[in-house]
Amino acid sequence: MAPSLKEKNLGEHKHPGISEKRLLNLITELMIQVHPHHRAPEHLTLDSQFETDLGLDSLSRVELISRVESNYNLNLPERTLAEVQTPRDLLRVLQNFQPSKPVHAPQAPPPEPHSTLKETIHPEEVETLVELLEWHTRRHGERLHIQLYQDDGNGEQITYGQLYRGALKVAGALQERGLEKAEPVAIMLPTGADYFYSFFGILLAGGIPVPIYPPARPTQIEEHIRRHVRILENCGAPILITLPEGEEAARMLKSLAPSLRAILTATELRSFAGEGIPPVLNGQDIAFLQYTSGSTGNPKGVILTHANLLANIRAMGDALDASSEDVFVSWLPLYHDMGLIGAWLGTLYFAALLVIMSPLSFLGNPERWLRAIERHHGTLSAAPNFGYEYALHRLQDSDLNDLNLSSWRAAFNGAEAISPTTLEAFTEHFSAYGFDTKAMTPVYGLAESSVGVTIPPMHRGAVIDRIEREPFMRRNKAVPAADEQTPALRFVSCGLPLEGHQIRVVDSAGKELPERETGRLEFRGPSSTSGYYRDAEKTRKLFDGEWLDTGDLAYIAEGELYVTGRIKDIIIRAGRNIYPDELEKAIGNLEGIRKGCVAIFGSTDPKSGTERLIILAETPITDVKERHRLRQRVNETASDLIGTPSDEVVLAPPGSVLKTSSGKIRRNASRQMYEKGDIGQKRKPLLLQIARLALSALLPQLRMVANRIQTSLYALYGWTVFMTLSPFTWLGIVTAPNERLRWKVVQKSTRLLAKWTRTPLTIQQAENLAAIPERCVLVANHASYLDAFVMGAAIDKPFGFVAKAELGEQRLLRLPLEKLDTELIERFDISQTVADAQRLSENLKTGQRLLFFAEGTFSRIPGLQPFHLGAFTAAAEAGVPVVPVAIRGTRSILRAGSWFPHHGAITVTVGEPIEPDASLSTDDPQRLWEEALALRSRARQFILDHCGEPDLTH
C-alpha cells in the first residue's frame, strides 16, 4: 500500500539524527525500565497511546521528554507533555524545532535582589481587593509586583500600576458587553499575564471571578467539558474568558451551558480602547468563587468575600512575619486556592515579589523551581507533598551543581496528605544545597476557610508524631509510641490555628473530644465561607452551628493539629478504622503497580448490606499468571498493614483510577465507576467523545434556539403593541381640550402598554403618591428610553417633563410635548441654559410640577451617574420640595444603543417630599447653592438606595 501524505511527511526529517527508529528505541528503553519483563517491544508502534497502550503515566512521560531533550539536544515547549499522546505526536514535535543548547541553569545573570520599600506596608484600612490594588497603585505604581519566570533572561514583568491599568481595560470591555454587578465570569486560562489582568478586570467591572482549569489533554476532553458544565450551570456565568486555543473547548461548553452567552479571549479584552468604571464594593461582597476539586462528587462553589480573603491573608502574614522583603516563587496553578490566594494575593497585600511559572514548567523540569528560588533569592515557596517528592526523585546531583537554597526561609507543604518520609528525605537531601531544615513548614487549610487554617511556628521545622497503630485503629486514640522500635503510625503536625481562628475535634454526636482522640475536625473564624454558591443543601451540611465541618479526621496534641485522613474515605471493617492513604502508598510501591494510581474504598454488598474493602490498582501487566501473583502481593501488603486482606483486588489498565485537577485520588468517583462495572473500559476515541458531547448538547442548543425565537417574538410583539397604541395616544393628547384629559390619555396608554406587553409595574411606597404637592420637583434616575413612559404610568398627577431642546426639532414629537407642558432646555448654549433655569424656577413658583431626569442621559453600563444641579437649584430658588422617584428594571428591558426589548419587570419607588429650608432668601446666592447641594444629596441617596444599581461616582 502506498504511504499516505502524512506518512511521507513523517519520513522527511528536517534534522539529522531524528528518526522513527531512534525515537522508538528510546521509548522501548524507558518501557523496559518502567515495566520490566511485562511489555514486548513489538507492541510499540508510532500510534501506540502512551498511557493506555504503553502504561506510561504522567511522570514516566516527563522522564521520556527529558531523555528526548537530552538525546536530541533540544529544549521542547512546556505544553509538549500535555499535548503528545503517541510517539507519532512526539516525532512531529521534534521535527518542528531547531536544535539548541538545553537549558539546565539560568543563562542570564541573576537579577538584582528585590527592592524593599522605605515605607511600612500596612494597608489595614482597605476592605476589598480592588481597594488593595488601588492602594498600592497610588503609593508605588511602578513597583514590580509579578515576574513571569523563564529560563533564559527575564520574562514579562508586571508592576502594580500596569496591573491596575490593564485590568481597567478588561473591565471596560466586560461592561461594554453587558456584564452587571455580581455576575460571575469564568476564567479558563493558563498561568500568564492574561490571567492576572482578567481576574482583576472582572473585579473592576463589578463581576465575580470563577477560576476553572483549561483542558490538559485532548483524550480527556469529554470528562473535562462535562465537569465544567456543572460549574457553569451552578454559577450561571454569562461570560467565559479563555485563550484562542481554548475557544473550541469553550464553544462546546457554550452549547451545554445555556447561561453562557459570550466567549471572549484575554487578548481582545486587553486591547479594549476605553476603561471600565470601578464599582462600589464592600467587604461582604463576593470576591470570587473557588470551586472544589470535585473529588467527592459535583464541584461546589465556595463563596469567599473580600473580608474573608483579607482576614486570611493578614492572619497568615502575621504568622509568617511577611513583609515587602519577601519573594514568593510559585509554580502552583492559579485556579487553585493555594496558588491564587496563598501565593498571588498574599504577595499583592504585602508588596512582596511574586516569581511565577506554569505547573507544566515545573513538571517538565523541577529544577526550574529550585533555580528560580536561587536566582531570585526566594524566601517563600509552597507545594503539595507531591511537589517535594517529585523534585527529590526526579533530580540528580548532577542537575544541582552550585545550587544555593539558603534564602528559602519557609517551604510550605499542604493541599494534600503530608508524608513524613517525604519531609525527612527532602530536608536531608537538600540541606547539602543550603536548604535550612527548619524551613520545612507543613500547613493545613481548605477553600472553605479561604486557604489557611493552621501553621506551625516559623523556623522550627517539621514535627512528626509517632503513635501506636492498634489503639488508633480500634479506639481512635493517638497514643504516643513507647520507643523507636515500636511499630507505629506517623503523622505530621500542621501547627497552630491562625490568629482569630479556632479548631476543634468532635465525635459523631458533636461532642468536643479531648487531646489525642481522633474525630471530625471543625473550624471557625473570620476567613470562613458563608456557604456554597446556589447550593442550600450542601451549605446546610457544611455547618454545625457556628462551626464548619472540614470533612477531615484529626486529633490535637499540645494544641497542634494532626490530620489523619478524610472522613468519607474511612472504611470500617471488623471494628477497625482503615485509612486508605497509607495502604495506597504501600501498594503503589509494589513492582508492577503504577505509583500514585491506587484507590482504596468501601463498597456496600447489595446482597448482605455489609461494606466490602476494594483495592483498585493500575498495572500494565497483562500476563494471567503475573496478575495472579500481583494480587497475592497486594493482599499480603494489606494484611501486613491493616491486619486483614481486601475483599477484592481489581487490577485495572492505566488511566482507570480517577483523579482531580490537583492530582488527588477521587475515591468516591472510582467507587461509582467500580459499582457500574466501568473499570477497565478503554477511554472513548476523541472523535467519539466529541460526538457524544455534541449529542448531549443538542437539547440545550434546541432550548437556546427556542429561547432566541421566544425573545425575538416578544420583541416583535412589544413593538407591535407600541406602534398600535402610538397613533391613538398622539391623537388623544393633541385633541384633548384640557390638561386633565391629556394626562388621562397618557396614563391609560402607558398602563395599557405595560399590561399588553406583560410587564409587571409595581409601585412601592405608593402612599407617597398622595403626598405629592401641587408645586414640586420630581427627580428620577434615567436608565432607558422607557423611563418617561414609566413615569407617565406611575404618577397619577399631571406634571411637566423637562427635556433636551433637540426633541422639539422633531415635528411629530413637538406638538404633543407642547400640549403636555414639556419644558425644553438648551444643553450646549450656556447663556441659554441660565435663562432656562430661571424660567423653570418661575414656572415652579406659579404652581407647576416638573419632572427632571437628573443624570441628564443614560448608558448601557448599570449604575447611578452624577446628578446635574439644575433641578435642585430650581427647587431651592422656588422654595418647592423635591420628590425623589427610583426606577428599577427598565435598563434590562431596553438598554441604551439597542432597540430590542426584553421581557422584564419594573419597580417604581416614590419617596417623601424633601422640603427646602423655609428661611431661604433668594437674595443669598451662597445659601441657595448650599441648599441645592443638600437637596441633591438627599434625593440621590434615596434613589441610590432603591434603584438596585451601583454608585458610579466612586
Q: Are residues 785 and 859 in the same domain?
A: yes
Q: Are residues 660 and 739 in the same domain?
A: no
Instruction: List Cβ neighbours of 112 (8 Å cut-off, separation of 6 or more).
Output: none
- End residue of a domain, out of 95, 116, 147: 95
- End residue of a domain, out of 60, 95, 130: 95
> In this structure, what C-alpha cell is assigned to residue 121?
506596608
Cα(856)–Cα(844) distance, integer angstroms: 20
Q: Are residues 791 and 892 in the same domain?
A: yes
Neighbours of 779 (CB within 10 A): 29
Q: Where are the alpha helices (DSSP H) in 517-616?
A: 536-542, 580-588
CATH number, domain of 773, equals 3.40.1130
* Alpha carbon distance, N-terminus to C-terminus of the chain: 73
Neighbours of 813 (CB within 10 A): 15
> In this structure, what C-alpha cell is assigned to residue 172?
471596560
CATH number, domain of 618, equals 3.30.300.30
Q: Are residues 765 and 622 in the same domain?
A: no
> In this structure, what C-alpha cell is assigned to residue 118?
522605605
Q: Are residues 737 and 820 in the same domain?
A: yes
Q: Are residues 642 and 727 in the same domain?
A: no
Residue 459: inside a domain: no
Nearest in space to 264 (alpha carbons), one of 139, 160, 174, 134: 174
Residue 79: inside a domain: yes
pLDDT of residue 141: 93
Give the residue numbers spanning the domain of 848: 722-946
Residue 104: inside a domain: no
Q: Are residues 647 and 750 in the same domain?
A: no
Q: Are residues 728 and 835 in the same domain?
A: yes
Cα(218)–Cα(687) distance, integer angstroms: 10
Residue 157: inside a domain: no
Q: Are residues 749 and 885 in the same domain?
A: yes
Q: Are residues 781 and 869 in the same domain?
A: yes
Intervals of the chain under pLDDT 50: 1-14, 37-40, 99-110, 118, 294-296, 828-831
pLDDT of residue 357: 93
Q: Using an 8 Å Cβ cutoff, are 207 and 182 in contact? A: yes
CATH number, domain of 67, equals 1.10.1200.10
- End residue of a domain, out of 60, 76, 95: 95
Q: Are residues 896 and 773 in the same domain?
A: yes
Residue 406: inside a domain: no
Residue 357: inside a domain: no
pLDDT of residue 5: 30
Cα(852)–Cα(780) distance, integer angstroms: 6
> Total structural domains in the chain?
3
Residue reference for cell 539548541: 100
Q: What three-state secondary structure class fits 451?
A: coil
Residue 72: inside a domain: yes
Q: Using an 8 Å Cβ cutoff, are 936 and 872 in contact? A: yes
Q: Is 663 left (phi over 0), alpha (psi -120 to 50) or beta?
A: left
Q: Are residues 582 and 653 in the same domain?
A: yes
- Bridge-partner residues for 544, per DSSP? 547
Residue 322: inside a domain: no
pLDDT of residue 764: 92
